[in-house]
Chains A and B, each alone.
Chain A
Amino acid sequence: MTKILAMAALVGLAASAAWAQKTTEEGIAEYRAMLQDGNPAELFEAKGEDLWKKPRGPKNASLEKCDLGKGAGVVKGAFVELPRYFPDTKRVQDLESRLLTCMETLQGFNAAEIANTPFGKGEQANLEGLVAWISSESRGMKFNLPQSRTEEKTMYEVGKRLFFARAGTHDFACASCHGTDNKRIRLQDLPNLTKPSGAASGFGSWPAYRVSSGELWGMQRRLNDCYRQQRFPYPRFGSDATIALAVYMGVTGKGGESVAPAIKR
């Protein structure tokens, strides 16, 4: 409740012409710092850990044998090395698309069906918990996406091209907003994702608890909303374009510390 009141006070102050720009930004930074004390992402993390261990699905199996890239069942440190190439699927996969693979092969769920489920509903809501917990198990570790395979290098090159691809009704590319230092949309600071520091802070803070929607967003949902605002068509969940973009950002942000799951406005 205090948080809601603080937010309301901030919005009021931001709207007041008497309040200088700088002070507004400082106020928002303070508000964000205050929120870090009680990040509701913790609730999703607890749910995720439970979901990982619980036998579920048509095969009544847990995800404890799921290989996220560091061997079956290894969760710690997996997140900061994703997306990466997986020999069994012969694909470069991010955390969410890899989880779909495990849910299908181990638990017997239909991966395509889950991919088509709207965000926040059904098994998609369970995915939110899983990405919250899995990412939290790498908190404080440094991003180090593998680039030793040809497939991984190719996805980086494709991701870079997608990042700069101008199209749609407004001619926007990801780079229109995230390609230059020190830019803002309205009062929202925009990380420059073409630079190591910007990519580390931008890419490195998802999954995140989204205060405005009260939900936990993974990178797939974050990119989906970026493309909506770019006026692009709809990116399929776990599609190669979304994974290639994550590779481009993650490789650019190499060495940055993961703070996920973070908290966002």
Chain B
Amino acid sequence: MKFLLPAAAFLLAGCASAPAAPDYDQLTVAIMKASFRDQGIARTDRLAQDDTNRACSAADVAGKPLDEATARALEAANLKTVKMPLDGKFLGDWKEGEKIAQDGRGMTWNDKAGALSGGNCYNCHQISKQELSFGTIGPSLYHYGKTRGVTDPDSPAARAVVEYTWRKIWNAKSYNACSDMPRFGHAGILNEQQIRDVMALLLDPKSPVNQ
């Protein structure tokens, strides 16, 4: 019955001879499936979209942001995926964090399975003042901890900022459903220790970011 309804609407509108517009979304999925193949670690299962990517892609095609309710629901679902550090240790070594922020390798069909990936943070963010070659897709993170008043990351006063930053790196879609930022922890791009090191780069008062 459901299938008959659009046809009936067509007849009423008096354009029975005009072909129905193709379902472009369905066609796009079919063309995507036929057009890509596995190469190295980059396999075709990567084409599958989760609810977040599906909704955000459709909103982009329509040129309209997600409605509030959908956005909040997707953010809540993403927030649920965040794993906090089991030992309660949020910060590692900022020097290692700087290396991870500079490193753009990982996860392409040229990369080996199991190899550590970089965070590639400088592609999109200004971070330390020393690095001039930074991108502007994301906001500047220079003085990240300082502007948020973090003088001692271990103090109770800093707790909220520290936890927010962890969640943001682990799953950026927790706070902005259609953020352009990858979900570093959720997608397994960075491991827990690497995230600790990037946390230190942003929040350690001794890091060049906060000088």
Binding site for B on A (CB under 8 A): 14-15, 17, 19, 21, 24, 154, 157-158, 160-162, 164-173, 175-177, 179-180, 182-188, 190, 227-229, 231-236, 239-242, 244
Contact = CB atoms under 8 A, between A and B. Distances in A.
Contacts of A15: 132
A164 B32 contact: no
A72 B37 CA distance: 34
Contact of B182 (A172, A173, A188): A172
B129 to A, nearest CB: 8
Interface residues of B, number: 47
A62 to B, nearest CB: 31
Contacts of A176: 137, 180
Contacts of A235: 35-36
B60 A185 contact: no
B31 A186 contact: no
B43 interface: yes
A212 B52 CA distance: 37
B12 to A, nearest CB: 24
Given A167-B48, A168-B47, A233-B46, 17 more contacts: A21-B132, A154-B24, A158-B24, A158-B27, A162-B31, A165-B53, A165-B57, A166-B60, A170-B189, A171-B182, A172-B182, A179-B60, A183-B136, A185-B135, A228-B42, A234-B36, A234-B42
Given A183-B137, A233-B43, A240 B57 contact: no
Contacts of A160: 61
Nearest to A173: B57
B143 to A, nearest CB: 17
**Is the contact region of chain A dominated by helix, strand, or loop, or is it mixed?**
mixed
A185 B123 contact: yes
B134 A157 contact: no
Contact of A233 (B24, B36, B56, B173): B36
B107 interface: yes
A219 to B, nearest CB: 15
Interface in B110-145: 110, 122-124, 130, 132-137
B25 interface: yes
Nearest to A159: B28
A175 B46 contact: no
B182 A14 contact: no
Contact of A240 (B34, B47, B173): B34
Given A161-B25, A176-B180, A171 B53 contact: yes
A180 B122 CA distance: 18
A169 B182 contact: yes
Contacts of A164: 57, 60-61
Given A166-B49, A169-B107, A169-B187, A233 B38 contact: yes
B211 interface: no
Given A173-B57, A239-B35, A19 B187 contact: no
